Each structure stands twice: as C-alpha cells, then as structure tokens.
C-alpha cells in the first residue's frame, strides 16, 4: 500500500513511527505545509525511514494534493491535519480516485436560533452527503478512524455484535490522570482546540428523539476509569461517535462524555465568562502602539506548548465505550477500553500518550484495508467494519485493549 500522509504534527509524526514497523506499508509520502516538520518526521525514523519521503504541501490546495497523489502513485490519502482541512482533502481524494481515511469529521455549525436544543449542520454531514459519489467511484472514505472517534466505534460494534442483544445506552468515556511536572496547569493537548470542542453545543442521540444538543458541560457525572486512573468528572462534549454509531447500530441513547475534570471545566467556564475564549480581536497596547489580538491566541501564548511536554508528562490516558443493556434476558454493563501509559509510549516511540493512542488506530485500519479484511465503498464509519480483526491486531501492535464487566 502506498499512502499520502497529510500533516506531520504530533499525530502525523507518531503515525510514521508506528507505520515504519509494519510490513504492509510499501511507501508513505509525509506532507506538511511546513516542509521542515515533514523532513524531521522522516529523519527521526533513521534506518526504518527508507520507505518514507517528505514533501511540502498546502492541504487547502486541491490541485496540489491531487498532483502529490498522482506523482507518488498513492492508493490512499491519510488525513492527519486539523478539521478545517477535512473537506478539501476528502474532495481531492475522491477526484483523484483514491481511498481516504481521517480521524475527525467535517465541522458542525450550531443551529441559528436554538443552538442548545437543536442541531444545525452536524459533524460529518458534509461528508455523508457525498457518500453516493464515493460508492459510484468504488472507493472507500473511512471517516473518524482515530481513537475517539475510531477505536471507540469499533468497541461499539463489537459490543453490539457479541456482547448484547439490546443496548440501552452506549456512552463513550474519555479520561486521564496525566500531569505535567513543573507546571500548575499545562494541558496535554491544544487549549485552542479544546476551547473549540468544549464550547460547541454537545450532541446527544436518543432513539425517539433523534439527534439534539444541550448546553456546554451538561450532565456532569463522575466516571471511574480503569488501570489506576480512578474517578474523573466527565461532561457532554460534541463528538463524532454520537453521529456515527446510530447510523449502523441500534442503541436507545448515545452520548460522549469527556473527562475534563472539575478543574479544567472551571478554567473553560471562566475563560468563556470573561470573553477570553473569543477569536474576534480586541485592541490593546503593545510594544509598538495599539495592536489587534485574539484573546484565545493570548491564552494559548501564556501556556506551554503541549507538543514539547511529553518528557515531563506522567500518567495514563484512557479511551473507551461504556455499554448498558441486556444479554440473554439479563441486564449487562461493560466498559471496553484502551489505556496508554505516557512513560511507555515515550520510551517505545518517543511520542506522548494522547498523540500515540490516536495514531495507532489509522495505521491498524490501513493494514486491514491492505489485507482486504476491511473494505467497501462509500463514506463509512468504523462501526461499518468487522470489529474482531481490528481488536486482535491491536494486541499484535503491543497495545492491547481491556474489558470491565460492571
């Protein structure tokens, strides 16, 4: 398989390190708008880097993306950029007739008048609208194939196929106990993106009601995460799984709750209250007279860059799917999960835990596509694929998953 990887940030770089150890990969072209990031990702592979090449590429330029796909004879475009570039890359792959895989779906827009009650444009809507075109082209667009969405959706399908006859609630729960040495407060991921994600209206699915939205941070609950992470306060957050799961699986209710913890939720609420989450500029004095700056950029500038914190991080991150329902006429409740210890991922791959946990899943998915175990055409979510081969492959990658009967 020949792959065009677009994006050589944290996740993109971890993808190269994981893929370099797998034989299914014939060639990977690593592209980034900043050529030095792409070159650095390839250079750090050392002697494992012989199947990789670096390229400068503007993800928002469809002609340049198509030319790169053609020049490097790629079978698939793997998108590891931020969600603003989903649609141009998705369209370029279709136009060029290659498969496509991403880890976040096309962006939502809130309902114009009832943002905390009704959905406007949903996550992925723009992609699913094009499904017939992908089917007609006989190509696969596998969307939301990171860890969450991604592995969490595979867990959902596995629960639906093998563990339950009926599902009452299927709730994705994501939590961690990561700390960063030397800092009172240092998010392990981009504060800019977290603000965006957490202040959008969260989406919930119910069988009778369909999809609807709530106010940010709704339905707080304390979830007890496994492998020593322990209890973390979780709240509803807008996330792809809620939009993906009901398209393929039957469940009375689907939610996504993010274990932000009460401290982080407090920080986000305060930033919103003070208007410091805004991207629209305010005028302030600067060294060179008055300047127009975005408050959210100033917040990000005050915090350490999470990409450089891996060596100082301690702890584990957990992604998983909590399912409540019945099997053989008896109530059942399980949590299917995947935990990564930051010290392990730093030692083994030089990648911090959150980034590494995201990156392993698209590589494993591509391996199954290369084997012909996963396939099909159209715009499909991870729950459209047979789950067992994927879950078995994770063990082979040295990243086993777990199950807790509750």
Task: Please give the residue ranges that form the binding site for a second copy (CB under 8 A).
Answer: 184-185, 266-267, 270-271, 273-276, 278, 281-288, 291-295, 297-299, 301-303
CA-angle at 6, arms to 134 and 390, nearest 5°? 65
Find out whether 257 and 171 touch, Cβ atoms under 8 Å.
Answer: yes
d(CA 36, CA 16): 15
Q: How far apart are CA 221 and CA 232, in angstroms?
A: 8
Using a 10 angstrom Cβ sphere, with 0-12 exposed, 13-18 middle and 19 or more buried, the burial of residue 142 is buried
Helix axes 10-19, 353-371, angle to 10 degrees: 50
Residue 269, exposed/middle/buried by CB under 10 A (0-12, 13-18, 19+)?
Answer: middle
Q: How far is the CB of 272 from a second copy (least distance, A)?
A: 9
Sheet strands (E) in 57-214: 76-79, 99-102, 140-142, 166-176, 179-180, 203-206, 210-213
- CB-nearer residue toward a second copy: 143 or 260: 260
Fill in the DSSP letter of residue 199: H
* 36/279 with CB nearer a second copy: 279
Q: CB of 311: closest distance to a second copy in angstroms?
A: 21
Judge whether 345 and 358 are in contact, CB under 8 Å. Answer: no
Find out whether 316 and 178 touch, Cβ atoms under 8 Å.
yes
Shortest gap between Cβ of 286 and a second copy (angstroms)?
4
Euclidean distance between CA atoms 396 and 126, whole angstroms: 35
Please say which residue, 76 or 299, places its beta carbon nearer to a second copy.
299
Nearer to a second copy, 242 or 267 (CB): 267
Smallest separation (angstroms) from a second copy to the CB of 266: 7
Q: How far is the CB of 188 from a second copy (least distance, A)?
A: 15
Q: How far is the CB of 198 from a second copy (least distance, A)?
A: 15
Minimal distance, residue 382 CB to a second copy, in Å: 36
- Least separation, in Å, of the C-beta of 303 and a second copy? 7
Q: What's the closest the beta carbon of residue 84 comes to a second copy, in angstroms?
A: 16
Output 276 or 346, the one with its CB closest to a second copy: 276
52 or 217, CB closer to a second copy?
Answer: 217
Residue 331 has a CB neighbour count (10 Å cut-off) of 10
Report the residue number, 270 or 406, with the smaller CB distance to a second copy. 270
Our CB check for a second copy shows the closer of 128 and 192 to be 192
Asked whether the beta carbons of 187 and 306 are under 8 A apart, the reply is yes
Distances, alpha carbon 114 to alpha carbons 13, 214, 243, in Å: 40, 10, 19
Specify the residue, 271 or 323, whose C-beta has the smaller distance to a second copy: 271
Return the H-helix or E-strand segment holding 40.
helix 35-43
């Amino acid at each position: 398989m020949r792959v065009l990887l677009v994006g050589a940030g944290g996740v993109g770089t971890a993808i190269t390190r994981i893929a370099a150890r797998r034989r299914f990969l014939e060639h990977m072209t690593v592209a980034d708008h900043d050529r030095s990031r792409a070159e650095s990702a390839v250079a750090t592979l050392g002697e494992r880097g012989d199947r990789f090449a670096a390229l400068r590429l503007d993800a928002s330029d469809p002609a340049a993306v198509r030319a790169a796909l053609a020049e490097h004879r790629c079978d698939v475009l793997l998108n590891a950029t931020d969600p603003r570039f989903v649609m141009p890359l998705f369209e370029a792959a279709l136009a060029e007739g290659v498969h496509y895989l991403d880890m976040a779906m096309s962006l939502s827009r809130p309902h114009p008048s009832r943002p905390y009650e009704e959905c406007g444009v949903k996550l992925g809507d723009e992609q699913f609208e094009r499904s017939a075109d992908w089917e007609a082209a006989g190509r696969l667009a596998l969307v939301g194939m990171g860890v969450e969405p991604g592995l969490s959706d595979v867990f959902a399908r596995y629960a639906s196929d093998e563990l339950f006859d009926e599902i009452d609630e299927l709730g994705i729960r994501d939590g961690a106990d990561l700390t960063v040495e030397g800092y009172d407060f240092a998010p392990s991921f981009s504060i800019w993106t977290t603000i965006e994600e957490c202040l959008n209206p969260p989406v919930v699915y119910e069988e009778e009601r369909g999809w609807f939205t709530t106010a940010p941070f709704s339905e707080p609950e304390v979830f007890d995460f496994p492998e020593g992470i322990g209890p973390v306060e979780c709240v509803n957050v807008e996330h792809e799984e809620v939009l993906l799961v009901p398209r393929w699986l039957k469940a009375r209710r689907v939610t996504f709750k993010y274990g932000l913890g009460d401290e982080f939720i407090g920080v986000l609420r305060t930033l919103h209250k003070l208007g410091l989450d805004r991207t629209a500029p305010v005028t302030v004095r600067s060294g060179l007279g008055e300047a127009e700056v975005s408050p959210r950029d100033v917040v990000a500038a005050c915090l350490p860059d999470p990409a450089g914190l891996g060596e100082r991080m301690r702890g584990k991150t957990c992604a998983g799917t909590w399912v409540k329902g019945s099997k053989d006429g008896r109530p059942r409740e399980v949590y299917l999960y995947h935990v990564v210890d930051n010290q392990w991922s730093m030692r083994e791959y030089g990648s911090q835990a959150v980034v590494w946990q995201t990156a392993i899943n698209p590589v494993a998915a591509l391996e199954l596509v290369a084997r012909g175990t996963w396939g099909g055409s159209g715009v499909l979510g991870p729950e459209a694929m047979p789950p067992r081969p994927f879950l078995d492959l994770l063990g082979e990658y040295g990243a086993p998953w777990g199950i807790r009967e509750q």
